[in-house]
Chains A and B, each alone.
Chain A
Amino acid sequence: MIPEFGHFALIIAFCLSVVLCTVPLWGAWRGNATAMALAPNLALGMLVFSAISFACLTWAFMQDDFSVQVVANNSNSLLPAQYKFSAVWGNHEGSLLLWILILAVWTAAVALFSPQLPLVMLARVLAVMGFVAVGFLAFSLFTSNPFARLLPGIPADGQDLNPLLQDFGLIIHPPLLYMGYVGFSVAFAFAIAALLGGRLDAAWARWSRPWTNVAWAFLTLGIMLGSWWAYYELGWGGWWFWDPVENASFMPWLAGTALVHSLAATEKRGLFKSWTVLLAIFAFSLSLLGTFLVRSGVLTSVHAFATDPARGLFILVFLGIVVGGSLVLYALRAPAVRSRVGFAWLSRESLLLVNNVVFLVATLTVLFGTLFPLLMDALGQGKYSVGPPYFNAVFVPLMALLMPFMGIGPISRWKQDSVSRWRAELLVPAIATLVCAITLPLLYEGDYNVWVALAVLFAGWLVFGLLRDLGNKVRNASSIGAGLRRLAPSYWGMFTAHIGFAVAVIGVVLTSQYHIEHDLKMSPGDTDSLAGYDFRFVSVGQVRGPNYVADEAIFLVFRDGREIAEMAPQKRRYLASGDVLTEAAIDAGVFRDLFVAMGEPIGSDGAWAIRLHYKPFVRWIWGGPILMALGGFLTVADKRYRRQRSAARESNREGAVHAAQT
């Protein structure tokens, strides 16, 4: 019965979304306040029923209801409870339901936390989000029903969740990623609502900015977790593969990064309005495109989930309606007149423009590389695959191009700035950076590495520039503490996010340049030394997990004769599926990771192929994005969003009183 309740709740959510995307929009068109005022309630209703539906599917997984097809295909009675829970979205149907739930969460959040919005704007925004919900609810109900039963012939046990997905990182990775993906629908809805109303102004940018920042922060965390998961779960120490599915999440992030910055210029200076609207449409379109690429099977990927061309066609049609429709609206309604506000070449506006151009070009190159095999195939030019060499060759120089400007950005002024001021401000940071870039690589044993020096140069340029700016800001305060406290959260957000970027750059370059790996045959008793660490292979034994059996090797790691870690990599064989999985052992540290993974047994005398890695600064690759996301969240705490909210409540109340009197 419970799965049928879930199905029914999903149908109700669908009906509510249909009403949400029509009635308030009609109300906004005809000036009918009652129809518009329905929108927030419909949004809440959609959330309640999607949540009920999601809870029902979760219940089916937790209770091992193998009469439900997705449960039978993706779970198993031996599966540990936390993975039964994450198995809910470890499959196409369930992950789509998660998509819907998160969209409903965002829609309801907009309904609840936007009392400052004029009713007509709120009605339009929620209606646009309702329209997106209609598409995905219909997709779920008509092509990928998660509650389909296997009747008669209920299997005795399920086929188990893909072992790669049985992992803590994968419990939280999809929800965070979807929070980001779907969160861009809010920025999109604000953009469409503004186009519909013909009002593109600073107020619109101020409303949509906190939502965009939060969505961007979630997406950052989601991608970071995906990379971290790949690092420790796929078993060979890589952390980014430029795989189509990774690119699918990375493209909205790149476009979103451009959007976050262009919204700043629109809010503060009323500039780039059409451009910002276009970026908002673009970022969300890329989220939808990502869904299409992952779900339709037009591209092959290591993430190969179940794919189905019929589903692909559905998403493509939906994509065509949403993106095509919004671009038509954009072409007809976006302001074509040049902004009256001008700015000089040397100004913060120009630097933000550089950011936008770099990130847009980066997005397009990733998009091109991802779709290239498909384009060539469609043109009859044969089958191609585009690998990491292409992406690295175009992406790394773009980021290197970005960073010199990024160092000047925070310290620069709006409207008009001058080279002489920049020189005065940044001379000291530049010298400090140069000194660091020359000396720090010397600390590392071995040859002097120019790439590392460059990375330190760029990252240091960002950090010292930011510190100089911070210094300027607190200089006039009575004490440093008072000066720091006076700074707005949005400033701290920018500060943290930019520091995070520098941290990530250091992590990426140092790991790529300094990592050492040994692949070798080892027998119990053997020792291998790597970067000053001695790895002693002590023994191999059999261990049993809840739903797998494993060969487990024990390694002791010594440094200068002192034992510093015991590491136990495993080779697991999952019972239900028979899949074999490598579980690497990692000794993590701020400045280096040690990584041991088991390959295959060699011969019959107990020898194994063993992979040892020394990965310096690899944690910084993920530490950076955590700081970036933190920065994104911090900006929302800014007073100007709250102050305006209470002021709006005042004016709403006055308006209501006024309306009652007349």
Chain B
Amino acid sequence: MPPRLKLFLPLILFLVLAAFLYRGLSLDPMAMPSALIDRPLPEFRLTELADNRPLERDDVIGEPALFNVWATWCISCRVEHPYLQQLADSGVPIYGINYKDEDEAARRWLQDLGNPYRANIVDREGTLGVDLGVYGAPETYLVDADGIIRYRHVGVIDERVWRDTLEPLWREIAALESTP
């Protein structure tokens, strides 16, 4: 290659990168693959964190619940943990999806920080995560009594998120349940 042409290499690399960045702008990292909204929670056959008993989809549906994707390596999960505990204490059923984590560390976490979860699905390989289209932790899915995903929230759940977006949906779904 002539030496002058080599000097164009940085420019070419930058243009490729810029094309990706441009594409990135129109992608919302928070957005869920829209295909999954109002679709059933994917089937899975995994285990429970505390006692390794097998756990599948039918075990966790039946009433409206939150499914919270978390991991001990996830900083933000620690931030939202106290609030999840508060929600659980006020009677909201929350299931945990322990995502790409080590069981021992996860058990210790729950022991130390409290356990807001009805049950924890161990998704060590991230297979359920892939089916759900998990971008990262934390992520929370609102699933109704029939096991249909109604909403997905990416990021930390705090009082504002709950009050402004999740709670209204939650009430709506609960109201539907009580009027058959």
Contact = CB atoms under 8 A, between A and B. Distances in A.
Given A298-B25, A519-B112, A375 B20 contact: yes
Nearest to B135: A383
Interface in A282-324: 282, 285, 292, 296-300, 302, 304, 309, 312-313, 316, 319-320, 323-324
A234 interface: yes
A241 B75 contact: yes
Contacts of A201: none
A278 B10 contact: yes
A304 B159 contact: no
Interface in A380-418: 382-385, 387-389
A377 B114 contact: no
Nearest to A230: B75
Contacts of A282: 10
Task: Point out which of A299, A323, A378, A577 has the most chain B C-beta atoms below 10 A from its C-beta.
Answer: A378
Contacts of B8: 331
Contact of B14 (A323, A373, A374, A375): A323
A300 B85 contact: no
A300 B130 contact: no
B135 A300 contact: yes
A316 B25 contact: yes
B20 A304 contact: no
A238 B75 contact: yes
Contacts of A328: 11
B74 to A, nearest CB: 8
B50 interface: no
Nearest to B6: A336
Interface in B3-19: 3-4, 6-8, 10-11, 14-15, 17-18
B14 A298 contact: no
A390 to B, nearest CB: 11
B29 interface: yes
Contacts of A431: none
B33 to A, nearest CB: 8
Task: Point out which of B18, B21, B83, B111 has the most chain A C-beta atoms below 10 A from its C-beta.
Answer: B21
Task: Point out which of B4, B10, B73, B82 has the most chain A C-beta atoms below 10 A from its C-beta.
Answer: B10
A243 B24 contact: no
Contacts, number: 125
Given A377-B24, A599-B113, A609-B114, A388 B15 contact: no
Contacts of B85: 600
Given A234-B75, A319-B18, A377-B24, A300 B7 contact: no
A312 B82 CA distance: 33
B29 A300 contact: yes
Contact of A309 (B3, B25, B82): B25
A304 B154 CA distance: 11
B10 A327 contact: yes
A236 B11 CA distance: 43
A579 interface: yes
B26 A292 contact: no
Task: Point out which of A323, A520, A600 has the most chain B C-beta atoms below 10 A from its C-beta.
Answer: A600
A387 to B, nearest CB: 6
A312 B25 contact: yes
B24 A324 contact: no
A330 interface: yes
A312 B22 CA distance: 9
B29 A373 contact: yes
B108 A519 contact: yes
Contact of B112 (A300, A332, A611): A611
Given A313-B25, A383-B133, A324 B20 contact: no
A337 B17 CA distance: 28
A76 to B, nearest CB: 15
A336 B20 contact: no
Contact of B135 (A316, A319, A373, A609): A373
A312 to B, nearest CB: 5
B120 to A, nearest CB: 18
A300 B136 contact: yes
Given A336-B6, A375-B20, A382-B133, A299 B25 contact: no
A324 B25 contact: no
Given A316-B21, A377-B24, A600-B82, A336 B112 contact: no
A387 B99 CA distance: 13
22 contacts: A236-B75, A236-B78, A238-B75, A285-B14, A297-B29, A298-B21, A298-B25, A302-B75, A312-B25, A316-B18, A319-B18, A328-B11, A337-B3, A374-B21, A374-B29, A519-B111, A519-B112, A520-B112, A578-B159, A599-B114, A600-B114, A609-B113
Given A316-B22, A374-B20, A383-B134, 17 more contacts: A236-B78, A281-B10, A285-B14, A298-B27, A298-B29, A299-B29, A300-B135, A302-B76, A313-B25, A319-B18, A323-B18, A327-B11, A371-B20, A375-B20, A378-B20, A383-B136, A577-B160
Cβ-closest 6 pairs across A and B: A519-B112, A385-B136, A383-B135, A336-B3, A327-B11, A378-B23
Interface of A: 234, 236, 238, 241, 243, 274, 278, 281-282, 285, 292, 296-300, 302, 304, 309, 312-313, 316, 319-320, 323-324, 327-328, 330-332, 334, 336-337, 371, 373-375, 377-378, 382-385, 387-389, 519-520, 577-580, 599-600, 602, 609, 611
